[in-house]
Structure 1
Amino acid sequence: MENHDHIELTSAEISTLWTSYQSDTMAICGLKYFLGNVDDDQIRALLEDTLTLMEQHVEDLTAFFNKENYPVPQGFTKQDVNLSAPRLFSDKLYLEYILNMTNITLIAYSAALIAAARKDVIDYYSENIQAVRKLHIQAKELAKEKGVYLRAPQIPKPKQIDFVKKQSFLAGWFADRRPLLGVEIANLVFHTKRNAIGQAIITGFSQVAKTKEVRRYFERGRNISGKHLEIFESILSEENLADGAQLLTSEVTDSTVAPFSDKLMMELVSVLIASGIGQYGVSMAASPRRDLGTHYARLTSEIAAYAEDGANIVIENGWMEQPPMAADRKELANR
């Protein structure tokens, strides 16, 4: 067994642990608020299981920081949630949220595991990948049971194997376009679902944000996610394929009382944007048809610019906690 008593955490390890702390403390605030107004007993049980896991994560992460004599991040606290605020989202949206966030977390934890070298960090992410995987499956099966999980469309089975014979396989704009590949369909369906959830969440946030600047930012985000949703739906519709998603803005109530601080809502939107940029990149690499790659590149550029504007708002308001970073050698040399 590796003896890591004197092995310092690497930049990758401390960064992933720090980011996990931010995400988990934010999730705890959301889950506690959800549990205050959820009606469905099965969804309540899922939220409780998720909250228990997140609280254990924060305890474990705090132990990491203390052991390393590293300052425990501030993250998000009870000051960032108003548990007495009226309901903003429906039970259905709570379930969709858990499905989406466990998906994001599985991707993040897998990347953290790959980047880790120290055995205790490897063990932490290995164990929690399994725990989050169970929650994801639990949420997915519950969504199927309740009839709200929309499957991707089916494609015909080939009679035999075949090989690509024409360069038109890559065409997208001017030549005759081939039908979509299964992997291209899967990615398009995923993005319609993700943008539908994002649009609903940010619609709710635009109603309750305290400052005018943040409200306007969320309104802009609502329009962007709606436009992206329409683009992906139209591509699938042209192929006579169901998009596997539905508008979820009707799952937002008319409440104008903020359950969360503007800081927390901006952070959650930032997480959704970062996930979107990453997934668009993966989809671009997996989509040989040129028109799809062009769409993904253009939409990535749009949300990257939106993310930068959001970061500026967060910095101006003093909400951005400093992530782990390298020493500024130039500044040290000039002292």
Structure 2
Amino acid sequence: MYKTLTLCIFILFNTFSATQAQTATDLIVIDAKATGSKLKLESGTEKKITDRNLYDNQPNFINEEQLAFSAADDKGNHDIIIYTFTSNKFVNLTKTPDLNEFSPAITDCGLYVSAVTVEEDGKQRLWLYPTNFGEPELLYDDIEPIGYYDWYDNKAAMFVLGQPNTLVYPYAKEDILTISQQVGRSIKKRPKTSVITYIDKNDSQEIDGEKVFAIKGFDLEKKESHTFGYALPASEDFIWLNKNLLLMAKGDELFIRKANKKEWISVGTIKQDGYENISRMAYSPKLKKLVVVMERK
């Protein structure tokens, strides 16, 4: 069956494989405020959300007080965990010994947390997990293997693993648009727009001996392409703090850049004993908190 998220309104990698070897990582939170073209980090407010010598990664805010992430147990099984900031408590959204769930995100309707699920036969497809802990639903049965994705208009723009990796968007079952090929793992909707952004590995330049890839965008409504300058050297994880401000990291240092500017500006470092190398990030403008993933040394 081929489902669309219209049902929401009726219910009031480098092969980027989800199963690739993983480094022990934790989630670190810091108070932060993004305003216009600035990001202010509140030094001294850094705090570990997780503290395990395992994989806790891929954070995503699902509402004003909760964060979803993928976590491995000591047997190597991955589930989606929900962390609530107000209570400092964790709860399993999934607990599936025969499946592995990655890359959680809230759907546009807010009734599901989606996840890339590695099924028993190895297929990587997009599943929907109800926030009321009901039965999960397979979204696209014939689009796989999915690595990463983001949402627009109750449909998912998806990074599909292959030779080459492609970025696709299903306007309908018989109308699946290939947006680009040779894309990186960061697939992010630009806030308050219909633009899906991504790293374009077809477009690169060399800075101080390091390859730098372009950040591109595609307007899903107007069907127009956009260019948002270049990423940081040797980095490809980015997020939007607001409609105009991009955030990336290198090592333990964070950088911002306005979408229409060229220069990345350092806004500070995340100092946590025993940790290095920021990768994925998530920001809540309501909570004024930035969550980063860092590797254990």
Please give the TM-score of this superposition, normalised by the length of structure 1: 0.24
Larger Rg: 1
**Structure that is richer in helix per residue:** 1
Q: Which has the higher contact order (CA 8 A, sep 6+)?
A: 1
Please give the TM-score of this superposition, normalised by the length of structure 2: 0.26
